[in-house]
Structure 1
């Protein structure tokens, strides 16, 4: 059994991690309008993340990282997203790969299997911390999304290692990331639950091809382009943690990385929206008067409603992240993550819509961030797990389904 838990940072050290992100938030916020308008990738922001050592935010202190737990990481993402949500979302893609490894304590695994897993872990840590390399998650496919059991991308063993063939439709950081972590099924698999594995592909691999077509409603700076893998050959060492065919079972048992990582991002957008609303209404006058709209009893009532919804979602999000740490893989933790993902996904569009109504037409100006918050928040319910998938998951849990089985989940 793989044990969880390595020496964690102190309370003060956790606050320092969040403070680093809070400081970057202010810098990112100044650049966000430009990146959004151009639809260009936030390269400068990632240089700042690298300089701050945050590519190793989840990597244990013993290995040179910050050792953040899932709650600290969620709070850090919240801060980054308040500045630039596209940066926060793509940063989360890196940590889907790195963070999932950081949760594992591999020292208790012996033999050749343990050796291979440790070597892979050490390589990922070195690439992230010392080489400052970025990993991108490549899972979603055309017409399938992130439903892993339906994946069409395949891999098969060849003399050089593995050959990958398929297309990934939504690969954030495509063209920027140094490595793609590709979800694929074994070409030889005949099981109803396909043998899904992850394989790491270098950006310069001649078997990859990017189609740069990302021009969308929201999250415009994520460079989420399709990537084609055409007889893409990778060495045997590219097999994630040296483990073949177990990815779908791992995701079903511990879905928090593929689901929960988005929650901090979209919570951050809602927090930024609320803060903008407060400052805007303080300055705006009640029509025909010199009185601030913040003094209007009706406005105060509506602000109380928004505050209550936001703080409820924040509390539920923090509790879900805490449960991941305390009860990793439990049904309680998994339910909490899906509950939080649903609430935060639905909160953002509603809150930003209310903010537009309360601020009036002038708040839609491109020079103000509210219009961007509205567009970015609209995308939350589409990210895995989608809002519909979250509700389906929670409904099955209520009826006692065994959701540790991939066949019982939406995956």
Structure 2
């Protein structure tokens, strides 16, 4: 473990648990030291996660009455945005845990949903890291759930499982189709310590190389009937997914916004060292304009989470915001590369890594085609249940 990061952790342990943004900033400054090495070596940011697990950030989204920090969604977003200024991979990977905590916390706070209480208490007490298989388990679901006595035997490959090497519990699902019935997606958690769970280390990518987003292989793990949290129709929006989409994506895209902000800060510093002719000044101005567009769009996403209800209309607003954050953030970082000049082309500047990392914003659902169709259907009063 990075000794300086541990020192920083010990320095802030006495601070109020609600001061999560300051804690994230303090730790983030230490995490930055590992960011370049993880990127260059295609390795998971393991040292950063060791520090995270000893901080209050793992359970900070759990309601206070259940042992957590009671952080709000805007506070969690600011935490992730701050981490991303220093290490894109740590922030994006941790956003997957964070939203998996924020969703049951929202259900506890807003819906008074008692079934989520044991999970939230466990996160607070044991500091477990939740993994998301959202890249595999969007609306259509993936994997096979075979009915056996007392439960279901699961066979699946779960791709894009960020922070897989550090995870304790994989929040995932699989498709069950019993004779004469329509396909149903079952939702459940699987312990990463199961002998039927293996990590396939395939994460060799353009950007976000330190997220450890490997494939997780499930071969024969049996989930008991009592472990099935939800059954829903495959290939169709369920009310729970309105909650998931509304809560998760503003947190995930807080990380991407932080990447864009840090890239623009680097470029501005480099531009100051250039001859500031009108072309450089205009590039910086255009960059800042695009960045402001991303910030405003992300604020719109966060506002949607504060309405107290999740619906197709709320999802539409979140996904419109997501599309705008993606477009403006990517364009801002492209302009940052131009504004910085040749100095930004060197790895040592840290700008080219952020240029690669921001590209990941393109690939989360709803991607551009589905998002446009969803928005069009909402505007025209058409069904959206199968647009994803």
Task: Report the TM range for the smaller structure's normalisation.
Answer: 0.7 to 0.9
Partner of 2:303: 322
Q: 1:268 to 1:14 in 2, by over 3 A?
A: farther
- 1:82 aligns with one of 75, 80, 85: 85
* Residue 107 of structure 1: how far off its partner (Å): 10
Contact 1:306 1:351 in 2 (8 A): yes
Superposed CA offset, 1:171-226 (max 9, x none): 1122321111112122328666x422221111121222221121111010111111
Q: Distance in 1 between matches of 2:25 and 2:369?
A: 32
Say if 2:127 is the partner of 1:132.
yes
Partner of 1:183: 173
Alignment map for 1:52-91 (pairs within 5 Å): 52-91=55-94
Q: Distance in 2 between matches of 1:147 and 1:105?
A: 23
Secondary structure, counterpart of 1:367 in structure 2 = helix
Contact 2:294 2:329 in 1 (8 A): no
Say if 2:84 is the partner of 1:105.
no
Q: Distance in 1 between matches of 2:94 and 2:66?
A: 20
* Residue 230 of structure 1: how far off its partner (Å): 1.5
Q: Distance in 1 between matches of 2:17 and 2:51?
A: 19
Say if 2:195 is the partner of 1:170.
no
Say if 2:351 is the partner of 1:370.
yes
Q: 1:399 to 1:36 in 2, by over 3 A?
A: same
Q: Distance in 2 between matches of 1:190 and 1:96?
A: 36
Secondary structure, counterpart of 1:68 in structure 2 = coil
Contact 2:24 2:82 in 1 (8 A): yes
Say if 2:199 is the partner of 1:214.
no
Contiguous gaps of at least 5 residues in structure 1? 1-12, 287-292
Q: Distance in 1 between matches of 2:295 and 2:181?
A: 40
Q: CA RMSD in A?
A: 2.6
- 2:44 aligns with one of 38, 41, 44: 41
Contact 2:297 2:325 in 1 (8 A): no
Superposed CA offset, 1:367-410 (max 9, x none): 1210100101111111222233322222222222343xx32x21
Secondary structure, counterpart of 1:188 in structure 2 = coil
Q: Distance in 2 between matches of 1:69 and 1:189?
A: 44
Q: Distance in 2 between matches of 1:345 and 1:69?
A: 23
Contact 2:188 2:227 in 1 (8 A): yes
Number of aligned residue pairs: 371
Partner of 1:348: 329
Superposed CA offset, 1:248-278 (max 9, x none): 4035433224433321011111100111111
Secondary structure, counterpart of 1:198 in structure 2 = strand
Secondary structure, counterpart of 1:360 in structure 2 = helix
TM-score of the pair, normalised by structure 2: 0.87
Contact 1:152 1:185 in 2 (8 A): yes
Secondary structure, counterpart of 1:185 in structure 2 = strand
Q: Distance in 2 between matches of 1:108 and 1:301?
A: 49
Alignment map for 1:152-167 (pairs within 5 Å): 152-167=142-157
Contact 1:175 1:203 in 2 (8 A): no
Alignment map for 1:228-267 (pairs within 5 Å): 228-240=217-229, 243-245=230-232, 248-254=237-243, 255-267=245-257
Superposed CA offset, 1:12-69 (max 9, x none): x897222222222212222211111111111221222222211112211111212222
Q: Distance in 2 between matches of 1:332 and 1:182?
A: 25
Contact 2:284 2:336 in 1 (8 A): no
- 1:401 aligns with one of 372, 375, 382: 382
Q: 1:189 to 1:269 in 2, by over 3 A?
A: farther
